[in-house]
Chain A
Amino acid sequence: MELGSNVNENNFKSIRARGGLNIGLNARTSEKLAFALLTLSAMTTAGFVVIILAYIIYNGYSAISIEFLTEMPRMRMTQGGIYPAIVGTVYLIIGSMAAALPTGIMAAVYLNEYAGENRTTWLIEMAISNLAGTPSVVFGLFGLALFVKYFGFGSSLLASCLTLSLLIIPVIIRSTQEALIAVPNEYRESSLALGISKWQTIRHVVLPAAIPGIVTGTILSIGRVAGETAPILLTGAAYFLPRLPDSIYSGFMALPYHLFVLATSGTNITQTRPLQYGTALVLLMIVLGLNLIAVLIRRHYRQKLKI
């Protein structure tokens, strides 16, 4: 009796073990495979960032000096610094953000909180999607036609800022919309139920809760503005201008275009190699620095909202 039952149980166990093992192996193998692939993809992406950074830092750090950061380019750009290009890029970021942030946020609030589901809304949404997919050189040509020529701003900081703001408005609208959608509807309802108007609800509850998401969109746009070359090339960036812009109607130098000039059409491409890497390094540092500030702002607001 006892023996028999033992045998039976063992049989049953081994059958179960075999079946279980089979399934387990399959599931485990595919799990491992998927995990490896996913990790590889993530690592590859991070790896490229590290390689690019390391390469530029390695080649560029020797060019970095106080003079490089604070002086005008000299000797047909083969010596001296990149000060006007740094200032130009910073102006571009400030100017285009000043134009695009309010417009983009207000447009997103309209679309998300006010607009009904109708043909007009659909058309606006379609236009934004298409705007986001338009090549930047087209924006450059458009800016040239509208701001430089038609409005008569000339080849200027103003024209470039406005052109760049058109480029990033779709990014800001989209990320603001995402952030607004993520705000729980209960906040809106309970505010309205207190006899608070819709606009006050948006202003005092919805927008503050959406700030972290809006800042994320801003981070993306800052990188875009700092790095774009085609739109500013057509609307205001100067090949060589050894002074700072003195008004919004002046031309200006900017880091990405300066880099392009040094690397492709400069007076002595080989001699300026260190300057090119140095310029790239400064551009990267400005973008990373601004991103860092934006991340800190985002974290500050997230923590404030949570506990």
Chain B
Amino acid sequence: MTEAIQNVSHPQIEVENLNLWYGEKQALDNISMRIPKNSVTALIGPSGCGKSTFIRCLNRMNDLVKNCRIEGKVSIEGNNLYGKGVDVVDLRKHVGMVFQKANPFPMSIYDNIAYGPRLHGVSKKDMDGVVESALRSAAIWNEISDRLESSALALSGGQQQRLCIARTLAVKPEIILFDEPCSALDPISTSKIEELIVNLKNKYTIVIVTHNMQQAARISDYTAFFLMGRLIEFGKTKQVFQNPREKSTEDYITGRFG
């Protein structure tokens, strides 16, 4: 494949010959890519190209889909997620996910953040610290620190999405997957989340699905272009956007289709 893939010497996520079927329909076709640590990798491509399906393979959310069959290998730090005896619940503690639609639980702001740590055994006296640090890391603490007990559903869409990011951070993952996190948000909320994502890469490895090519160009270090279930091109974002190797990548980026 492309140079960038070979250049990554210590990938955190390594995908080898990943194939996925929904029933008879093949949704992912022989995907291989190596995602480096502490970077932002953007997955772009037209609707239905398989980018969301792909990102859901990285924390095995596709397990929840009926008639979904997966072949190939996805390794994180050398451990195959699809190997025998993998504890999926434990895996998802290490690989967090933020969804397209902000979806806080119908609980207070505090309980939304404390939900994960509480069930993972964080004690009551440590909880205030965990909640505060998660909210600070998600750049929302200053806006809501005075009303932690009020319902999370009363927050604005952008705040809800940052709350969901904080909820994910509170579990202390190493990798965070974002599935079009800004597609339902206004430009100001979007820029806040973009800024947040760029800051988070110092501590986390980030993979983000996005429909917005400017967004991919702004925040990502690596970009992968998907088309009809295939990985067409993967490389440094600068190279993919300024000097794409493949004709279809160029067509998509310049807006000729999609």
Contacts and interface: CB of A to CB of B under 8 A. Distances in A.
B180 to A, nearest CB: 14
A191 B115 contact: yes
A92 B239 CA distance: 75
Contacts of A304: 106
Contact of A194 (B66, B92, B101, B151): B92
Interface in B37-65: 59, 61, 64
Contact of A205 (B59, B105, B171): B105
B153 A189 contact: no
Contact of B103 (A184, A195, A196, A208): A184
B171 A194 contact: yes
B105 A193 contact: no
Contacts of B66: 117
Given A193-B96, A195-B171, A186 B116 contact: no
A192 interface: yes
Interface in A156-194: 184, 186-187, 189-194
Interface residues of A, number: 22
A204 interface: yes
A190 B116 CA distance: 10
Contacts of A208: 106
Contacts of B96: 193-194
B154 interface: yes
Residue from B89, B97, B154 having most chain A Cβ neighbours under 10 A? B89
B106 A209 contact: yes
Contacts of B92: 192-195
B106 A204 contact: no
A196 B116 contact: yes
A187 B105 contact: yes
Interface of B is mostly: helix
A196 B64 CA distance: 14
B141 interface: no
A192 B97 CA distance: 10
B116 A194 contact: yes
Nearest to A198: B89
Interface in B70-119: 89-94, 96-97, 99, 101, 103, 105-106, 115-116, 119
Contacts of A192: 61, 64, 89, 92
Contacts of B99: 186, 189-190, 193
A205 to B, nearest CB: 6
Contacts of A197: 89
A193 B103 contact: no
Contacts of B171: 194-195
A46 interface: no
B164 interface: yes
A306 interface: yes
B86 to A, nearest CB: 13
B167 interface: yes
B233 to A, nearest CB: 28
A270 to B, nearest CB: 57
Nearest to A209: B106
A10 B99 CA distance: 59
A267 interface: no
B120 interface: yes
Interface in B154-189: 154, 164, 167-168, 171
Interface of A: 117, 184, 186-187, 189-197, 200, 204-205, 208-209, 304-307
